[in-house]
């Protein structure tokens, strides 16, 4: 099942997302993830790709964690996790997203069951209901 979502905090609009009830966490496609130190804090920096893939923007965050996540092949990997707002069916939801290189995947965003739980019922025979 797929849906179109917005990330207002990241200025990303109309991004295609795959709804995956088999995945626990949600993931956001990004590249060039790195940390740098300032005098007072550690900053996470990453690039997001605009829908259509033509434009890349750098995002900075001082609020993040790191977690071990099993990827789609069952291999554990360390990923950075950010909290950001997502708009889905007109609802603004603050959710966690792991930062992952999803370039080889069809959809740049994966919505896992942690985000969906107690908010939505998934009908796998439907797609892009929020835009209809």
User: What residue ranges define each of the domains in the chain, with the CATH number in brackets?
Assistant: 2-31+65-122 (2.40.70.10)
Beta bridge pairs of residue 24: none
Residue 17, pLDDT > 90, answer: yes
pLDDT category, 129, cuts 50, 70, 90?
Answer: low
DSSP state of 30: E
Mean pLDDT on 117-126: 75
Mean pLDDT on 106-128: 83
* Predicted TM-score (pTM) above 0.85: yes
Residue 86, pLDDT > 70, answer: yes
CA 116: distance to chain centroid?
13
Indicate the helix (H) or strand (E) that contains 16. strand 12-19
pLDDT category, 46, cuts 50, 70, 90?
Answer: very high
Please name the residue that has the structure tokens 């804090």: 41
């Amino acid at each position: 099942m797929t849906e179109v979502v917005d990330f207002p905090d990241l200025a990303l609009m109309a991004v295609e997302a795959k709804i995956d009830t088999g995945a626990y966490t949600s993931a956001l496609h990004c590249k060039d993830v790195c940390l740098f130190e300032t005098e007072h804090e550690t900053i996470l920096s990453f690039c997001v790709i605009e829908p259509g893939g033509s434009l890349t923007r750098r995002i900075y965050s001082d609020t993040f964690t790191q977690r071990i996540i099993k990827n789609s092949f069952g291999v554990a990997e360390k990923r950075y996790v950010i909290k950001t707002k997502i708009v889905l069916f007109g609802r603004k939801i603050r959710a966690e997203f792991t930062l992952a290189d999803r370039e080889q995947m069809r959809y740049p965003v994966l919505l896992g069951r942690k985000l969906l739980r107690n908010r939505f019922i998934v009908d796998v025979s439907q797609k892009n209901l929020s835009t209809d």
